[in-house]
Amino acid sequence: MSFGRLESSKNPAPMSDINVTPMVDVMLVLLVIFILTAPLLTSAIRLDLPQGEATQSGQAPQSVTLVVNAQGALFFNDQPVTSDELRTRLQETAQRNPETEVQLRADQAITYGRVVEVMGLAQQAGLSRIGFVAEAPRSTPSR
């Protein structure tokens, strides 16, 4: 037996590696949660929709064009009209085919109230399918 000093163990060196296991565990749990909930977010109401015959592929949907220029003037299929004439033409169009689409083109300088007024004329005539026509933004060439 020796009565000397006991050898003390050296302190362990600090760990210099990053432990990514907890981060991977959390990410996998989040991934599983998203995988399970994504189908539920698309449609919460289950429906069994009836089947019907589609329109013929060669038949294009009917449409009329309404234009409101910067001065507030109205054009029906590129012909200038007054508000009363527009109301009459829209009613005639709705009587022929109530599913006719109204393509509304309004200058960006025109007030919102004038656009709403024209939309109201179309809806009063019985045309409920209204589409707004806009130009695609011009892309600037990259240098």
Q: Where are the domains of the chain?
A: 63-132
Q: Is the pLDDT of residue 41 over 60?
A: yes
In angstroms, rounded to a whole number, what is the distance separating the alpha carbons of residues 125 and 76?
14
Q: What percent of the chain has pLDDT over 90?
A: 24
Q: What does the mean pLDDT of the chain come to? A: 79
Domain spanning 63-132: which CATH class is it, in words? alpha beta
pLDDT tens for each residue of 106-139: 888 888 898 899 999 999 999 888 888 877 666 6
Q: Is the pLDDT of residue 46 over 60?
A: no
Contacting residues for 98 by C-beta, under 8 A, at least 6 apart: 126, 127, 128
Are the C-beta atoms of 95 and 62 separated by less than 8 Å?
A: no
pLDDT tens for each residue of 79-102: 889 999 999 999 999 999 888 999
In angstroms, rounded to a whole number, what is the distance separating the alpha carbons of residues 114 and 119?
9
- The residue that leads in pLDDT, 31 or 7, is 31
- pLDDT confidence of residue 69: 87
